[in-house]
């Protein structure tokens, strides 16, 4: 568990560093690029911009009633919320990891139950298939015996018919 926590923390740190580079990287690139270009070319200095922009609109002008709203001790009377807010970040991560582990264990247990059920059903189908194969073999051997008896009966019938013709029988 300690190893997982260490790996998770390492992943979070790497993720934070990469995120910071992705967010700040382009700005730093242009800043350094502009600084280097400005130092090599002194003639590319821009004159100051002249702006005739209106003053920014304040929040009070947009929503006058919003200034009267004050949020004092939001959820301060809720002991569960207070307890949750006092937890340290590491405790919250640990709790999240425990929850994920519990979900993974439940998923694993469900998969094992499903696998055992599948094995049981497969075994049942295998037994039924073996019964079917045995019945097919019995039927096939009975068919072969009946075919052999039929051939033997045809030979005997042909022999009796031949004797009857020799004795003068003319047949149908």
The DSSP H or E segment spanning 171 is: none
Task: End-to-end CA distance of the chain: give it in Å, rounded.
Answer: 97
97: CB partners within 8 A, 6+ apart: 4, 5, 8
pLDDT given at position 151: 97
pTM of the predicted model as reported, rounded to 2 decimal places:
0.35
Cα 21 from Cα 169, distance rounded (Å): 113
The domain limits of the chain are 76-167
Question: pLDDT 10s digit of each residue in the chain, 172 long?
Answer: 566 777 778 888 888 888 888 888 887 777 777 765 555 545 556 777 777 777 777 766 776 665 555 555 566 677 777 777 776 777 888 889 999 999 999 999 999 999 999 999 999 999 999 999 999 999 999 999 999 999 999 999 999 999 999 998 887 7
């Amino acid at each position: 568990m300690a190893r997982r926590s260490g790996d998770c923390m390492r992943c979070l740190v790497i993720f934070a560093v990469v995120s910071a580079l992705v967010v700040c990287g382009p700005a730093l690139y242009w800043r350094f690029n502009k600084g280097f270009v400005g130092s090599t070319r002194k003639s590319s200095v821009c004159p100051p911009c002249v702006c005739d922009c209106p003053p920014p609109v304040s929040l009070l002008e947009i929503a006058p009633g919003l200034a009267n709203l004050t949020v004092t001790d939001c959820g301060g009377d809720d002991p569960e919320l207070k307890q949750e807010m006092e937890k340290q970040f590491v405790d919250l991560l640990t709790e999240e990891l425990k929850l994920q582990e519990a979900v993974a264990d439940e998923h694993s247990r469900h998969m094992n139950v499903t696998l055992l059920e599948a094995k049981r059903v497969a075994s049942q189908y295998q037994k039924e298939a073996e019964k079917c194969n045995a019945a097919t073999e019995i039927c096939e051997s009975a068919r072969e015996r009946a075919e052999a008896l039929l051939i033997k009966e045809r030979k005997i019938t042909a022999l009796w018919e031949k004797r009857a013709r020799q004795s003068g029988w003319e047949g149908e």
